[in-house]
Structure 1
């Protein structure tokens, strides 16, 4: 990526035009080493060194966060990362068809996930394992998608977490329609009793080049939908850098649609929590939509079918390791004597246990019954579909090892 100074021009016409050309190696390194990571407009409450940064606008949104809460955020990130690493290893062992790594984006997802109420609806893409965790969905429930045994092992109505969307950007239209429904049904405006609702839609920087995303922006804007567009800008849309996606920082695109945009340090769980709470509060009171650009970095491959060494420099990855979202919270906890060795040992033991249970579950996952493919095609029973199901089940039963 290039230096923020080279491509951040808040007012059109000021300064040299942004470039869409591929950055040179020197520009990539220069941008990463810039003291103002993400530009001057970046909201950061916790530096990579674990120092707390006062913020007049957003401090009040985490004023109630206790030491125990911060320890909880750290635990969330450790467990989510461990589940991600274990699932990545399971794919390499042939247990999963594919895996979509989360490594490096834990703070962005845990921050917004813990900012959401149970009644808030989430529309994920295919990398939101951390948000799923916050919504009460276990890592085991995610595995079926990547093993090819189901389309999502959870009840999306009960968890308020929509099934993963593989088609890039398509979930934005679904989220816009759902949020419009929340407004039409009067679930926004008065939040005095804490029952107002909002929706959060997740997508990456590459998805912002999809037409579905822009259509979602238009519909949400003109209907004042209570929708938080949460863009995780991890710098790479598979093999294409952000410079080839936009001439302006992504959060500034919101202005063209008539709603606010903001950039937050996506490796800072406190800043993401605060900004997400603000955005959700605005939406619940009828002041949406809002675009959040979580400025973060994908430390691993796009998926397990990708080889990131072919398109990005090792120096880039090494530099971002110094901004690790887990490490900055750990250092903050130690520096302010908010956690002792026993706490970190407990979290490590918990992550080891979870990894063992995840491995055991994956190795022993049963094959789905053939009739399962006919389930949930229609919301109500359909005689023609039932006839096709019964015919196919009888056909399979005629083979050795077939099921009835």
Structure 2
């Protein structure tokens, strides 16, 4: 009844949001005789109420142009490959000089791939970019089957095959494990589409290293507890009605709870900006939370397998990770350059968890390995914001260029 209860509450609140939005459209200076100051505060309060919701539809990437060299180039977002649980999107540009092809592997952890909009926008300056656009599990019919950790790896391999030989892979957060496993498998098979370089950013290759609150919570509970407490059945009104999922609203609740004071302060600032008519400042906060409050559901099998295989057992780090009955050996990676990136203030994936990949890729020659520690950023700062653009991205770009 977990999902049904959430849906019922959202249905009850929807008319209140709608009323607040209607009243806001009528409000203005001196509204209802309240005076300019009080009227502005009332209008701001109405907007805050109208924004009190989660959305379950992927926002637009909203990348229309990108600066390439000395000119702005139009960007077309095309579906290169469409599979039941995810699409391969291509950010196509009309330019004369070919650029290195990069597959960005987005996390499947409660948010849509658009959370990496800033990552993609920066990469587009110098690269031909593709991204994994994971589907909201509640919108995938039960007839489409299951989707677990090994299916995720299948999708990465399929996407790299579609892009073709000579590409690069960049994984952010949770899928660093699956990306490393996929490259190891392709290397073992001497697959022609094995990527030239692999960038792993803030991912739990070995979550036993400097465990964070997230890691400790994952290992403190049994799989039975997770299945009993956080898995729910999708309501019949959706295309995936009847599918058992880990709801995105639960994941968002957990993330917000970890930094409650920060989010409370941000919304207080938003209210103040709205009251003062500081549109540009308010828009920045609204844009972030429009993205942050857009959530997707994960299939039960993917979520439970992730808890079990990646956090409870740390299978990749211990050498016990298997794929379709085969032992996965990162030592088979001999020609794909490795770059790992960590944030010194990351409270989700702590120091040492991503760099553990270097020990696993034991046969890679030293000049094909590099680690970058960005000491002054948290988790999201690894792949978005000024530090990413100015200090981390040049390292990523140079690694890719060196392998071209």
**TM-score normalised by structure 1 residue count:** 0.27
**TM-score normalised by structure 2 residue count:** 0.27
